[in-house]
Amino acid sequence: MENAGKNDWLASQSLERSLDVISAINRISIHAKLRLAGIADTTSPDELNSARRSLTAFLGTLSEVIEKAGGTQDKIAFGADPRLGSLARMFLVLPGQPTGAVSYRLEDLKDLKALLDAGDSADDEALVRSLTYFRSVLEQHAQADAAVVFNEV
């Protein structure tokens, strides 16, 4: 375990980025579910807005990388973070086909972005479904990074 955490800093950065985004997804999802259940949420509006901003920013970056990669013959996003590029590639190489536990659908990303843009007026049930989908995509991606960072076999 001596070298854990430094063998591949790209994986390490990617893992931290994914964990941050997953945390933001959880915060928004919990807020929406508590609203649906009629339970008061103790999360401050600032925290919630920060989670929304962080998720929207990530979705924007990912969409940009997907668009860049989509314009090349081999679906490679030039100049993009390699781990983000490989996530983007999943949406282009096997669109809609399940890979492992999740399937990669571009339409779902667009739907989620639209729901986040709608803010409090968004349909909470649709938002929860969309967030759950994107979380499963990121969890699968983070799992691969964690295996590298923590020297897991």
Partner 1 sequence: MKIRETLQRRNHDVKQDLDQIVALVSRTQIPVELEPYRIAFLARTRLLLNSCRENLALLSTGEDSLLADVLSETSTLVQYTRLLKFRYLRGLYRAMDWDRVCLRTITWLHKEHEQTKDYPAVFADDDVSIVPSKGLPFYFFPCLEQRGLRFQPLFFHEFGHLLYKCHESELDSLVGDFQQFVESELLPVSQRNDQYRLWRRGTSGSRSSSAMLLDSKSVAPVFSMLSQNILPSSNPQTIRDKLRTCMAVHIPFPRFESSC
Answer yes or no whether residue 122 interacts with partner 1 by CB under 8 A.
no
Residues 95-114 that bind partner 1 (CB under 8 A): none
With tokens 């929406």, the residue in question is 32
Distance CA 94, CA 103 (A): 8
Q: Among 37-45, 52-60, 102-110, 114-122, which window interacts with partner 1 (CB under 8 A)?
A: 37-45
Helix, strand and coil percent figures for the chain, each rounded to 5: 70, 5, 25
Q: Locate the DSSP E strands across the chain.
A: 98-99, 102-103
Q: Among 5-13, 50-58, 96-104, 107-115, which window interacts with partner 1 (CB under 8 A)?
A: 5-13
Q: Locate the DSSP E strands across 73-131.
A: 98-99, 102-103
Residues 38-67 that bind partner 1 (CB under 8 A): 39, 42
Backbone φ and ψ for 99, nearest 5 degrees, come out as -120, 110
Residues 63-82 that bind partner 1 (CB under 8 A): 68, 73-81
Distance CA 119, CA 148 (A): 36
Answer yes or no whether residue 93 interacts with partner 1 by CB under 8 A.
yes
Binding site for partner 1 (CB under 8 A): 1-6, 9, 12-13, 15-16, 19, 22-23, 25-26, 29-30, 33-34, 36-37, 39, 42, 68, 73-81, 93, 132, 135, 139, 142, 146, 149-150
